[in-house]
A = this chain, B = another copy of it.
Amino acid sequence: MAPLGSRDALPGGMNPDLASERLAASFSVELLTASLDGGAERTRGRRAIVEAIESDPVFSQENQYFQSQNEKYEAAVRRAVYLQKKIRAMGWTQNGPEVQDICRCLSGDIALVLHRVFMRSISVLGSDKQIAKWIPLATDYQIIGSYAQTELGHGTYLQGLETTAVFDTATQEFILNTPKISAMKWWPGDMGRSATHTVVFAQLYVHGKCYGVHPFILQIRSLEDHSPRPGVTVGDIGPKMDFQHADNGFLLLQNVRVPRENMLSKFCEVQPDGTYVRWGSQKINYFTMTSVRISILSDEAIVPLMKACTIAIRYSAVRRQSKLKPGEQEAKILDYQTQQQKLLPQLATAYAFHFINTYLHELFNKGYQDIQAKNFDSLPELHAFSSGFKALITQHCTSGVEICLRACGGHGYSLLSGLPSLYTRIIASCIYEGENTVLLLQTARFLIKCFMAASAGQRVPPSVTYLSSVKSGKCPAKDKSDFLRPEIYLKAYEQMAVRSVTKLQHLIQSGVDKHDAWNQCTVQLEKAAKAHCHYITVKNFVEAVENLDNKAGIQKIMKHLCDLFALHGIFSNVGDFLYDGHLTAAHMDLVTASYLDLLAVIRKDAVPLVDAFDFTDKSLSSALGSYDGQVYQRLYEWAQKSPTNQQGNPAYDKYLKPLLQNTLSKL
């Protein structure tokens, strides 16, 4: 059964080099897709949504690679606005799984996404009264919201924000100002040209005392004609590496007043006389960001990696270049070990992250419920998880996409391959919602703290109990097949993570000044946090595979991918594993042998494994990655539509002709 009807068809039909790959699948692609979706029912639902959107010309992205920044923005607004119509027309719900399917289908090339963050901020941080006032307005799009936190001078370090909100008891208003150029809000999405309102973060001052950063609802543009409100200067921050469709904005505020009721006050409040009252942790103000970090992982990091793998692996099964042995036919590049070593670990990573993402979402849904019930106990662990995994996943997905791009050689460099735009977009995920190094150090701080608490006999969250319970020892593996046993490689990861953390704890404790000691260990602390998250990812993959259905070959191929993910991590970080002698050089030879063997095994299922991600040709937008594998034909056809071939060549008459005819001097 073909997974989807909505695939482009070229007269050449299916490339036989792809057809043969699919015939050889060791498992049922359709069942794996259903498993990834969370059931066949969800797969059907998702496909119906994809079909509804892709068949509607309003959502076409056919010209995306030929558009200017202004054209991309306009198209993204058009899609966002018509999507609201479509959602109503189709009777889809705004908060169900459908939204997730729509986002995946539109690849995020849509405006007004910050509107949802605006609403979420109000829902999480607003009082019941604020929610009752603002959420219906936002739901009906009578206002368009944004989220104004980052400033020109401060990003990750929120305590350093310089925008001020001074309470004026006389008028019962807050006076908002960006008192210097570095205080200007800079980067907020949808703010440059679209939003009418925003949640703005500012240092709260009452009677001259600073109470730290708080969120305020602020109208920035007229609802009549969209002009900036008095005291507001707002615009677009200009061209970026990608996200050209998004109007990231700047915002200057000069004595802009908002009523007292506009400070979001579920957890704290300024009373009419200026008394500041707080319930619960101040850290809750950052919870929106914490949860956004987790919510973006799938669409902004894992799905792009899956797409890049789909494109690169299909292309590698079609592209033939050079020969494995003299006299043979030219080989598919996927048959070269070096190509397998580039692509297949990325494929394994995409699956590993699919499973850890499910785990993180479950953890956060539970945490969110606790917090709604004003139980903040899980906040430190949630924060450490969201920080560390956001960093680990975005980092690996970004480098994975880059590897896929480069693995397609010159054609990967053409925008028409779809790979450059995946890369220029995903790299932003390493920076936004918390810069990765800073995030990893926050995770490291949590780990060190937990390790010390556990050593002192105190209770720590289950995810970190291993830090104090693991006994060191030598790896018992004797044969390369031993490294296909999860208990063997899990133990190696566990030891490596424990050693990284415990060693640093000693270094930090031994320092005279604890801040100096910390600052001199940050390079190694960052590594330790990665080691911890990497270990948890491998462990979770092992557990997920154990829980999979054993039918139709799915568990078996997933076990191979899990092994590959684990062994690739060892193969790529040999030093960390050799360091304390748990593994020896002889073990590393076994790991290498097992790892290279696995490449050859998984290679056979590589195309079916990317088919199971079930991307339509339209959502891949790739001349290299289409289902039918007609790559050369498609490159040529798409290139002919480029403005470079459609709009003539004024440079000839102006410059080339005079040069060639030696009349330049007369110009």
**Pair B238/A414 contact, Cβ less than 8 Å:** yes
Known A150-B410, A406-B427: A193·B140 in contact at CB below 8 Å: no
Q: Which residues of B contact A336 (CB under 8 A)?
A: 519, 522
Task: Indicate whether A324 reaches chain B with its CB closer than 8 angstroms.
Answer: yes
**Pair B84/A659 contact, Cβ less than 8 Å:** yes
**Pair B70/A644 contact, Cβ less than 8 Å:** yes
**Pair A636/B181 contact, Cβ less than 8 Å:** yes
Residue of B nearest to A75 (CB): B651
Of the candidates B193, B237, B573, which one forms a contact with A639 in the assembled complex, judged by CB atoms under 8 Å apart?
A: B237
**Pair A632/B152 contact, Cβ less than 8 Å:** yes
Task: Indicate whether A515 reaches chain B with its CB closer than 8 angstroms.
Answer: yes
Q: Which residues of B contact A330 (CB under 8 A)?
A: 157, 160
Of the candidates B74, B324, B405, B524, which one forms a contact with A651 in the assembled complex, judged by CB atoms under 8 Å apart?
A: B74
Query: What is the CA–CA distance of A241 and B419 in the complex, to the nearest angstrom?
Result: 9
Q: Of A270-278, A445-453, A578-586, which binds chain B? A: A578-586
**Pair A250/B413 contact, Cβ less than 8 Å:** no
Query: What is the CA–CA distance of A66 and B236 in the complex, to the nearest angstrom?
Result: 13
Chain A interface SS verdict (over half): helix
Q: Which residues of B contact A141 (CB under 8 A)?
A: 659-660, 662
Task: Indicate whether A596 reaches chain B with its CB closer than 8 angstroms.
Answer: yes
Task: Indicate whether A488 reaches chain B with its CB closer than 8 angstroms.
Answer: no
Query: What is the CA–CA distance of A160 and B516 in the complex, to the nearest angstrom?
Result: 60
Q: Which residues of B contact A342 (CB under 8 A)?
A: 437
Q: Of A285-293, A428-436, A473-481, A532-540, which binds chain B? A: A428-436
Query: What is the CA–CA distance of A547 and B276 in the complex, to the nearest angstrom?
Result: 68
**Pair B321/A193 contact, Cβ less than 8 Å:** no
Task: Indicate whether A510 reaches chain B with its CB closer than 8 angstroms.
Answer: no
Known A239-B65, A410-B431: A142·B636 in contact at CB below 8 Å: no
**Pair B238/A639 contact, Cβ less than 8 Å:** yes
Task: Indicate whether A416 reaches chain B with its CB closer than 8 angstroms.
Answer: yes
**Pair B414/A635 contact, Cβ less than 8 Å:** no
Contact with B along A622-655 (1 / 0, CB 8 A): 0000000000110110111111110101111011
**Pair B596/A523 contact, Cβ less than 8 Å:** yes
Q: Which residues of B contact A337 (CB under 8 A)?
A: 519-523
Q: Which of A207-243 contact B (CB under 8 A)?
A: 223, 226, 235-241
Task: Indicate whether A441 reaches chain B with its CB closer than 8 angstroms.
Answer: yes
Of the candidates B65, B69, B154, B187, which one forms a contact with A321 in the assembled complex, judged by CB atoms under 8 Å apart?
A: B154
Q: Which residues of B contact A159 (CB under 8 A)?
A: 322
Of the candidates B144, B321, B415, which one forms a contact with A241 in the assembled complex, judged by CB atoms under 8 Å apart?
A: B415
Query: What is the CA–CA distance of A605 and B6 in the complex, to the nearest angstrom?
Result: 59
Of the candidates B236, B416, B436, B522, which one forms a contact with A239 in the assembled complex, judged by CB atoms under 8 Å apart?
A: B416
**Pair A193/B226 contact, Cβ less than 8 Å:** no
Known A427-B406, A581-B585: A519·B74 in contact at CB below 8 Å: no
**Pair A645/B424 contact, Cβ less than 8 Å:** no
Q: Which residues of B contact A65 (CB under 8 A)?
A: 238-239
**Pair B192/A644 contact, Cβ less than 8 Å:** yes
Residue of B nearest to A181 (CB): B632
Query: What is the CA–CA distance of A585 and B581 in the complex, to the nearest angstrom?
Result: 9
Residue of B nearest to A430 (CB): B406
**Pair A644/B236 contact, Cβ less than 8 Å:** yes
Of the candidates B516, B522, B655, which one forms a contact with A78 in the assembled complex, judged by CB atoms under 8 Å apart?
A: B655
Min C-beta distance of A340 to chain B, whole Å? 8
Residue of B nearest to A85 (CB): B664
Known A150-B410, A336-B522: A68·B643 in contact at CB below 8 Å: yes
Known A184-B636, A241-B420, A639-B237: A155·B410 in contact at CB below 8 Å: yes
**Pair B235/A640 contact, Cβ less than 8 Å:** yes
Residue of B nearest to A593 (CB): B520
**Pair A437/B338 contact, Cβ less than 8 Å:** yes
Task: Indicate whether A3 reaches chain B with its CB closer than 8 angstroms.
Answer: no
Contact with B along A153-173 (1 / 0, CB 8 A): 111110110000000000000
Min C-beta distance of A85 to chain B, whole Å? 6
Q: Which residues of B contact A414 (CB under 8 A)?
A: 237-241
Residue of B nearest to A324 (CB): B519
**Pair B644/A193 contact, Cβ less than 8 Å:** yes
Task: Indicate whether A458 reaches chain B with its CB closer than 8 angstroms.
Answer: no
Task: Indicate whether A81 reaches chain B with its CB closer than 8 angstroms.
Answer: yes
Min C-beta distance of A474 to chain B, whole Å? 14
Q: Which residues of B contact A121 (CB under 8 A)?
A: none
Interface centre among A325, A521, A643, A644 (most CB of B within 10 A): A644
Task: Indicate whether A44 reaches chain B with its CB closer than 8 angstroms.
Answer: no
Q: Which residues of B contact A68 (CB under 8 A)?
A: 68, 643
**Pair B645/A236 contact, Cβ less than 8 Å:** yes
**Pair A413/B437 contact, Cβ less than 8 Å:** no
Task: Indicate whether A409 reaches chain B with its CB closer than 8 angstroms.
Answer: yes
Task: Indicate whether A77 reaches chain B with its CB closer than 8 angstroms.
Answer: yes
Task: Indicate whether A588 reaches chain B with its CB closer than 8 angstroms.
Answer: yes
Contact with B along A389-411 (1 / 0, CB 8 A): 00000000000001001100110
Min C-beta distance of A244 to chain B, whole Å? 9
Give 9 A-B contacts (CB < 8 Å), ordered by A residue. A68-B68, A152-B635, A194-B656, A226-B657, A237-B635, A238-B639, A241-B415, A337-B521, A406-B431
**What residues of chain A have their CB less than 8 Å away from a CB belonging to chain B?**
65-66, 68-70, 73-74, 77-78, 80-82, 84-85, 111, 140-144, 150, 152-157, 159-160, 181-182, 184, 186-187, 192-194, 196, 223, 226, 235-241, 247, 250, 320-322, 324-326, 330, 336-339, 341-342, 402, 405-406, 409-410, 412-416, 420, 423-424, 427-428, 430-432, 435-438, 441, 515-516, 519-524, 526, 573-581, 585, 588, 592, 596, 632-633, 635-636, 638-645, 647, 649-652, 654-660, 662, 664-665
Among all A-B residue pairs, the 3 with the closest Cβ atoms: A574-B575, A238-B642, A241-B420
Q: A193-B644, A238-B416, A240-B414 are in contact. List 18 more A-B contacts (CB 8 A).
A: A68-B643, A77-B655, A77-B656, A78-B655, A81-B659, A84-B664, A150-B410, A156-B321, A156-B322, A226-B657, A237-B642, A241-B413, A324-B515, A410-B432, A413-B428, A520-B596, A523-B596, A575-B576
